[in-house]
């Protein structure tokens, strides 16, 4: 029997309780059947992914992420395939038939972090939106300015880059002029006042240092590809994947445009060496973030 997993529709069920509401959901141990709150979309996590998620729930985080994402291997790459279910981006909040690099990582974390897959929409929204409240303007569209610092500040991620060698700091000043001069600005349906501005920084390992440390990076760590800063471009982080356990060389799992444009694994050291040849926009280095387990992991599932 397939288990229906209800996912949050854009804006119709706000997470006003923030982390308090999330903690109550994750730690409750009710013995009676749970009534699903009103305002949920009908949606189904594919049975193979659902069963992998349930079977892996007692494993360490890195192993959970590998098991949850294993059925996703080979799925096609498609950029910006999800939205809020309402205009201006009416794409569904979650899809399991296509991924881009960020939505792949978000969905794996949403399934792997809680003990109960019914909490996946809540985790996804906390990672994707400011204050966890779905809405196009609240979405963390930009990695350097929003997704990375806000998820670190919220406690979901920890920057562990400096644990693997000497780092240097990428610093970037983003102004209204930066956005106005960027050729991709028109792709974002945001008012100028909604675009983030300020001074941003990110510690990175050189590619040589990353290659030397590849064997030490733990399973579950998020690998961010950081490009050389350009004055007229507000972004520097262009790709994300995560390390998966391996009996041989460490590997990275990611949704990628390389090759067949699918979810696939790469040898981690090979990937670090491969990106050094991106001469059309040079890679500055690698940043490493570690997902954090927040509180006890309780479940209502048998």
Instruction: Using alpha carbons, list the distances in angstroms from residue 259 to 10, 256, 265.
Output: 34, 8, 12
User: The tokens of 44 are what?
Assistant: 């189904």
Q: Percentage of residues in the chain with pLDDT exceeding 90?
A: 77
Matching residue, tokens 């799925």: 75
pLDDT value, residue 279: 86
Burial letters for 26-58: b for 16+ Cβ neighbours within 10 Å, e otherwise?
Answer: beeeeeeeeeeeeebbebebeeebbebbbebbe
pLDDT value, residue 44: 75
pLDDT in tens, 51-89: 999 999 999 999 999 999 999 999 999 999 999 999 999
pLDDT in tens, 133-179: 999 999 999 999 999 999 999 999 999 999 999 999 999 999 999 99
Given this chain, do its domains 7-140 and 157-291 carry the same CATH topology? no
What is the spatial distance between Cα 43 and Cα 264, in angstroms, rounded to a whole number? 25
Instruction: Using alpha carbons, list the distances in angstroms from residue 82 to 76, 100, 186.
Output: 14, 9, 18
pLDDT value, residue 298: 59
CATH level 3 topology of 157-291: putative xylanase like fold (2.30.260)
User: The tokens of 299 are what?
Assistant: 């479940």
Strand, coil or helix: what is 118?
A: helix
Cβ pair 200, 171 in contact under 8 A: yes
Split at pLDDT 50, 70, 90, the class of 19 is very low
Split at pLDDT 50, 70, 90, the class of 294 is confident
Strand, coil or helix: what is 174?
A: strand
pLDDT in tens, 208-254: 999 999 999 999 999 999 999 999 999 999 999 999 998 888 999 99
**pTM (2 decimals)?**
0.85
Q: Percentage of residues in the chain with pLDDT exceeding 70?
A: 83
pLDDT in tens, 258-284: 999 999 999 999 999 999 999 889 999
Cβ pair 235, 144 in contact under 8 A: yes
User: The tokens of 145 are what?
Assistant: 């300015």
Strand, coil or helix: what is 224?
A: strand
CATH number of 7-140: 1.10.3670.10
pLDDT value, residue 21: 41
Pairwise pLDDT comparison (187 vs 295), residue with the higher score = 187
Strand, coil or helix: what is 50?
A: helix
Residue 265's beta-bridge partner residues?
253
Predicted confidence (pLDDT) at residue 199 exceeds the cutoff of 80: yes
Give the number of other CB atoms < 10 A from CB of residue 293.
Answer: 11
In the chain, where are the structural domains located? 7-140, 157-291
pLDDT value, residue 109: 98
pLDDT value, residue 194: 97
Task: Concatenate the DSSP letters of all residues of 103-168 into one string.
Answer: HHHHHHHHHHSSSSGGGHHHHHHHHHBGGG---GGGB---IIIIIHHHHHHTTSEEE-GGGGS-EE
Strand, coil or helix: what is 240?
A: strand
Q: What is the mean pLDDT of the chain?
A: 86
């Amino acid at each position: 029997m397939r288990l229906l997993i209800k996912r949050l529709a854009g804006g119709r069920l706000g997470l006003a309780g923030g982390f308090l509401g999330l903690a109550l959901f994750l730690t409750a141990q009710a013995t009676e059947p749970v009534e699903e709150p009103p305002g949920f979309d009908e949606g189904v996590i594919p049975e193979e992914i659902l069963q992998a998620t349930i079977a892996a729930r007692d494993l360490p985080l890195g192993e959970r992420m590998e098991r949850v994402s294993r059925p996703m291997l080979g799925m096609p790459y498609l950029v910006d395939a999800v939205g809020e279910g309402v205009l201006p981006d009416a794409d569904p909040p979650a899809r399991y038939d296509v991924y881009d690099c960020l939505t792949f990582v978000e969905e794996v974390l949403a399934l792997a972090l809680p003990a109960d897959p019914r909490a996946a929409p809540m985790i996804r929204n906390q990672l994707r939106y400011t204050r966890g409240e779905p809405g196009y303007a609240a979405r963390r569209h930009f990695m350097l300015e929003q997704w990375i610092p806000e998820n670190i500040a919220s406690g979901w991620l920890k920057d562990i880059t400096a644990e693997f060698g000497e780092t240097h700091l990428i610093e970037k000043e983003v102004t209204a002029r930066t956005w106005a001069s960027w050729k991709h600005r028109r792709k974002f349906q945001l008012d100028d006042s909604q675009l983030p501005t300020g001074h941003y920084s990110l510690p990175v390992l050189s590619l040589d240092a990353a290659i030397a440390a590849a064997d030490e990076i733990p399973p579950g760590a998020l690998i961010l590809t950081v490009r050389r800063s350009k004055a007229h471009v507000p972004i520097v982080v262009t790709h994300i994947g995560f390390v998966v356990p391996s009996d041989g060389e460490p590997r990275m799992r990611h949704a990628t445009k390389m090759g067949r444009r699918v979810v696939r694994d790469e040898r981690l050291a090979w990937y670090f060496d491969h990106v050094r040849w991106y001469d059309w926009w040079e890679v500055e280095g690698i940043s490493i973030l570690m997902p954090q387990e927040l509180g006890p992991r309780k479940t209502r599932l048998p």
